[in-house]
Homo-oligomer: A and B are copies of this chain.
């Protein structure tokens, strides 16, 4: 029914009376074509409504101009803002993006990577809080370059783009400590994850130490990355007599804040909160969330730019890029 019987390069060639090669050359902007024939070919392409078949091209050239993006969840603001940066730069370099949601399940992450490889993507950008051993193995088995965006591998061997989580967390701690808090909670994801154990926790402890405060393990909380998880964990936090919290995720921070307020506490007077992702969520609420400022769009964009270089076998001087973070003082902290 819908057989549009698309014209092939062969149709164009025979119509003009040249060879496939010539048509291919003009389509691909090769300079070695006489201007007059080029015109004729272009006309024929126009008349026939010829559109190159990217699949055939991909098979012949072994380049698909497609990259894969593996991410936890498109509906997670943090990651979707990274994805936007990736996508914009990808388009700029004429790559298409094959998107996969994994919900941070290592099994699905592995499958996604393998699947992308079989689709012959030219490169992959991986996002996720933790790099499972199996996933790491899969990544190294793939022959397309892989760049991590907003994600860390414990061994720091993969190309990646991040902020300095240690410094950022330390500063956050110092800020609330300066406001007089002596019991500051740290809310992150699972402590087995490198980003939590080797970065956020380290920064947290460094901040405490700089302030001369003792580290208390009871003030460590692991939470899922959504609003209700934050809401649910909030009473446990309050039960420790903590009066401030550094939180890894904006939705979690909002859950905590709303629980506190539903309990009649006020934020920031009774409880200060600093969140870490600075998504739209942090701006839209009242009080707005004080947050570590992450250049999310740029993290994605820089990661993608780096991937283009890797795909072209260009030299990349710095494989582990650290982008500057900021501090967005808003309503959930005093001063």
Chain B's nearest CB lies how many Å from the CB of A63? 10
The answer to whether B280 touches A258 (Cβ under 8 A) is: no
Stretch touching chain B among A51-59, A160-168, A217-225, A319-327: A51-59
Question: Is A19 part of the binding interface, using a Cβ–Cβ cutoff of 8 Å?
Answer: no
Residue of B nearest to A56 (CB): B59
Whether A284 touches B285, Cβ cut-off 8 Å, given contacts A74-B74, A115-B96, is yes
The answer to whether A227 touches B283 (Cβ under 8 A) is: yes
A227: chain B residues at CB < 8 Å are 280, 283-284
The answer to whether B64 touches A74 (Cβ under 8 A) is: no
A88 in complex: contacting residue of B6, B101, B115, CB < 8 Å: B101
The answer to whether A284 touches B281 (Cβ under 8 A) is: yes
How far is B53's CA from A100's CA once the two chains are assembled, in angstroms? 19
Question: Is A87 part of the binding interface, using a Cβ–Cβ cutoff of 8 Å?
Answer: yes
How far is B162's CA from A224's CA once the two chains are assembled, in angstroms? 32
Stretch touching chain B among A36-44, A75-83, A129-137, A202-210: A75-83
A285: chain B residues at CB < 8 Å are 284-286
Give me 15 A-to-B residue pairs in the complex whose CB atoms sit less than 8 angstroms apart, sorted by A's number: A4-B141, A55-B55, A55-B64, A66-B119, A74-B87, A75-B80, A75-B83, A87-B99, A88-B101, A91-B100, A97-B99, A98-B99, A99-B99, A284-B284, A286-B286
